[in-house]
Amino acid sequence: MITEGSTAPDFTLTDHNGEDVSISQFKGQAIILYFYPKDNTPGCTKEACSFRDDFKVYTEKNTVILGVSKDSVETHKKFIEKQDLPFILLSDPDAQVCELYGVWKEKINFGKRYMGIERTTFHIDPEGTIKKIYKRVKVDGHSAKVLELL
């Protein structure tokens, strides 16, 4: 189980450009690693756009933003283009990294049970330690809360 103060597990996923990306390649920078359910849905779009709107502040604080969902590389690319997102989106089609980070959970919607991503953000410090975990993220004001700890 991943906890605050533990080392962030490394992984490699494909980004929206078809390139392999590992969190270890960002050593020396803080990372905001956020898991979200689905591209182009209202809550996920609002969350991504709030990170986009604050992107300059993150960059000034030597921080990288990485978004992860099960969406395909192609869907991520379209989402980035449509919303003008300046950060990396990673495709986790088999939910392996979602499981590794403990965000692949059973969900219930209108009495129907299914597996899905629980909206969660991990703040990883420049040394690779998990500084803060934001579970069951509420989209409104989330980026501002994350920025408070940078």
Residues marked active site are found at 44
Find the DSSP H helices in the chain: 42-53, 55-60, 73-83, 96-100, 142-148
Rounded to whole angstroms, the Cα distance separating 121 from 133 reads 6
**Considering only CA atoms, which of 23, 21, 25 is closest in space to residue 7?**
23
**Considering only CA atoms, which of 108, 100, 95 is closest in space to residue 38?**
95
User: What distances in angstroms separate CA 17 from CA 31, 90, 92, one per listed residue?
Assistant: 19, 9, 14
